[in-house]
Structure 1
Amino acid sequence: MKKYSFLFVLLIALGLAACSGPESSEQNRNTQAQQAEPETRTVTDMMGRTVTVPVNPTRVICSGPGCLRYLTYLQAQDRVIAVDSIEKRKTRIDARPYAMANPQFAKLPLFGEFRGHDNPELIAALDPQPQVIFKTYRGMGTDPQELQDKTGIPVVSLDYGDLNARRAAMNTALNLMGEVLGKQERAQEVIAFMDAAEEDLGKRAAQSAAHPTCYVGGIASKGPHGFRSTEPGYPPFAFLNAHNVAAPTDGSKPSRHADIAKEQIVQWEPDYIFVDLSTIRAGSEANSLYELNTDPSYKGLKACLEKRIFGVLPYNWYTSNHGNTLADAYFIGKTLYPDAFADVDPAAKADEIYSFLVGKPVFGEINKAFGSLAFKPLDPSVLRIGDNGEILAK
């Protein structure tokens, strides 16, 4: 009986195996393939392109100025698998809070040169492969569609925008990146944080009837510059309703960057001068502090004579640093309207801003890189800058 029972069970097993033959195996393979295939969705990027991307990608790269900054704002830096060359540079002077808060970026593989000059071969060699490439400043380096065609990886183009005239573009970029990453809520939190800061700055400034004239010199633009380099739409001045002497007076939209004639600055005679500390990289005789100390025209400005020159954190460093901009605005507000900002410690406020945006309080580290000259009065007559931006004398 046991023998027959064993044969009966064996026959049933063989029958089941036959029933699950080639057709059933094919079904199993199809099911496994479907399970391995990532779920996708389509988005419209800021070039108007329809791009198919995986849902909640976990492996991405960021190409172009500021792209990795926005990813850090969205708290998705753990998804970055490779970086461009600027993240791997070893430099004594840096003003990018997102990079300071994430030193691990420098250890990641390289996928191309900075300013969007991507290398499709390096991208193809990455293991694992990125699922999405985010790209800012589409006019720089490799065209987004060309990069997508060469790599077979979806490329989402972003318009970086800014904190002033192009705030809508900034908001759209953050929301789009958040949508792709599944970080929509965080994107809204970042936008709300910046809106709240601007509102607070404006309310405080409105408490003062006086709005002195101001000029900011030494603004970087694809590298360091001297005192004539400025920003007609400088956001800290705009937030504070300060009178930026370089801003257009005819109601036209301010240009992003301008080199002002020395004679014009002298004619404007600003009440307060702010020096963007990125200027110290311009070299010993090309930086703003050297010019303010040695040029007789500048030395005669009342802001120089009355010692109303102040150092602020770099505004542009691999495009606009929004955290630095907000931190500068609070310092400038306290300088221009001390009563309205009496409860504000600019250094502590800077770290509050950095902690929210990049996850760490890095003001001390940034300030140290610039000779601890941020958020304090500057005396060009005693400051000496070396050719490599080092502070030789204070």
Structure 2
Amino acid sequence: MKGFARRGQWAVRLVTLIACFLIAPAFAETRQVTDVLGRTVTIDAPAKRVVLGFHYGDYLAVGGEHAFDAVVGVSRGAWERKVPANWALNVAHRPSLATLPDVGETENNSFSVEKVLALKPDLVVLAAWQFQALDSEVKRLEQLGIPVVAIDYNAQTLERHLASTRLLGIITGQEARAAELADFYAKVVEDIQTRIAAAHRPKPRVYAEFGNKGPAEYSFTYGRNMWGAMVTLAGGDNIAAPFIQWWGVMNPEQVLMAQPEVIFISGREDNSNPIALPMGPGVTADDARSHLRAFMQRPGWSNLPAIRDGRLYGVYQGASRSLEDFAMLQFIAKQLYPDLFQDVDPMANYREFYRRYMPIQPQGTFAIGLNP
């Protein structure tokens, strides 16, 4: 009986050891990765101490909520300032986010290498645009032995979306989840383009603008990235492409001469400008729609095909340059080719994405037309 008891005790210990092994975090290993700029970088993966510059939602979607256990610092303003309601929702769910050290921003020249070094990171993850703006700072970090990798969802190309997602999978130790997300995104783009190609339709002329200045003043439009690239992916003819390389203000006369057939105005939840288009978490459909209609009163717009046909739409700026922009691609494609996408519900798909991959469930208005 004593021998049986001892064997039973060893069995219990063995099961316990196996269980501990299965639930323990993955051990880091040294790996060489290629970032979106084609640089070969040696990192320890999964990373244990990460400074994250941008693309916070994608880091969460790929790595899962617990991936932020390894984040020791962020460029906080780019999250809190640009999409404040999204930030507030995430902080309400995970209060520790509010205490994460802020390493500063590239856009106001407050990014601090000293703040990064004080956090003793084993990896710094930057958006490609941040990396390019911080050339000397990146070199200094690398000289001090801190690897820096660049990811890029701003380009809005399928290639960079997939490469960035897979790279985040390595960084967070969630390669299978990253592969699932990359495959999902690729299939959405393939479905959109296959349907459109099979229909052999002329491409509708499209104008997209960031509505942060309201109808009184033209703001950024997009050439080869962000909403401009999304319009192209969704089968539209982006009227800004001949005039704007990346982003910039298009001459109003050029817009009128191009006679866009469909117009998309993007907005976010930051209402510091009362006439800006509000879109996103916490924004009601009535509020978004009333602000959107004000753009119809711009000089000369009543003569545009898009306005005459009621094809003016609002979209959420925070749902661009991200994996979640798959739903914006579907929405754009559906407005350009309504009969080809009758079975697609972009906003239901958007909510399902959040349910499956994100820790929060935002309520608000993320894509809208002129009519209820």
TM-score (norm 2): 0.70
- CA displacement at 1:49 relative to structure 2: 6.0
Q: 1:172 to 1:339 in 2, by over 3 A?
A: closer
Distance 2:259 2:270 in 1: 23
Distance 1:347 1:97 in 2: 22
Structure-2 residue corresponding to 1:301:
304
Q: 1:96 to 1:108 in 2, by over 3 A?
A: closer
Structure-1 residue corresponding to 2:5:
none
Q: 1:244 to 1:191 in 2, by over 3 A?
A: same
Please tell me whether residue 156 in structure 1 is matched to residue 148 in structure 2: yes
Distance 1:167 1:181 in 2: 21
Structure-1 residue corresponding to 2:49:
59
> Which residue of the other structure, out of 236, 261, 268, is the alignment partner of 2:230?
236
- CA displacement at 1:264 relative to structure 2: 1.1
| SS of equivalent to 1:179 | helix
Distance 2:210 2:75 in 1: 24
Structure-1 residue corresponding to 2:368:
375
Structure-2 residue corresponding to 1:70:
58
Structure-2 residue corresponding to 1:132:
123
Look at both structures and tell me which one has the larger radius of gyration over its CA atoms.
1
- CA displacement at 1:81 relative to structure 2: 2.6
TM-superposition CA deviations, 1:20-64 (whole Å, max 9, x none): xxxxxxxxxxxxxxxxxx86524255466665433433332212x
Distance 1:237 1:118 in 2: 32
Q: 1:97 to 1:209 in 2, by over 3 A?
A: farther
Structure-1 residue corresponding to 2:21:
none
TM-superposition CA deviations, 1:177-234 (whole Å, max 9, x none): 43344333233222211101101212333454544524233237xx768545222342
Please tell me whether residue 310 in structure 1 is matched to residue 313 in structure 2: yes
- The number of residues matched between the two structures is 319
Distance 2:274 2:209 in 1: 14
Distance 1:190 1:311 in 2: 26
Q: 1:228 to 1:194 in 2, by over 3 A?
A: same
Would you say the 8 A contact 2:51–2:72 is kept in 1?
Answer: yes
Would you say the 8 A contact 2:51–2:116 is kept in 1?
Answer: no
| SS of equivalent to 2:367 | coil
Q: 1:216 to 1:172 in 2, by over 3 A?
A: same
Structure-1 residue corresponding to 2:351:
351
Q: 1:293 to 1:161 in 2, by over 3 A?
A: closer
Would you say the 8 A contact 2:158–2:186 is kept in 1?
Answer: no
- CA displacement at 1:247 relative to structure 2: 3.3
- CA displacement at 1:271 relative to structure 2: 1.6
For CA contacts below 8 A with separation 6 or more, give which structure has more relative contact order. Answer: 2
| SS of equivalent to 2:206 | strand
- 1:139 is matched by which residue type in structure 2? Q
Q: 1:155 to 1:99 in 2, by over 3 A?
A: farther
Identity of aligned residues (%): 20
Q: 1:314 to 1:132 in 2, by over 3 A?
A: same
- CA displacement at 1:265 relative to structure 2: 0.9
| SS of equivalent to 1:215 | strand
More helix by share: 2
Structure-2 residue corresponding to 1:218:
209
Q: 1:357 to 1:232 in 2, by over 3 A?
A: farther
Q: Higher mean Cα deviation, 299-308 or 96-105?
A: 96-105
Distance 1:272 1:291 in 2: 16
1:164-203 matches, cutoff 5 A? 164=156, 166-203=157-194
| SS of equivalent to 1:189 | helix
Alignment gaps of 5+ in structure 1: 1-37, 368-372, 380-394
Alignment gaps of 5+ in structure 2: 1-26, 278-290
Distance 2:141 2:240 in 1: 39
Structure-2 residue corresponding to 1:274:
264
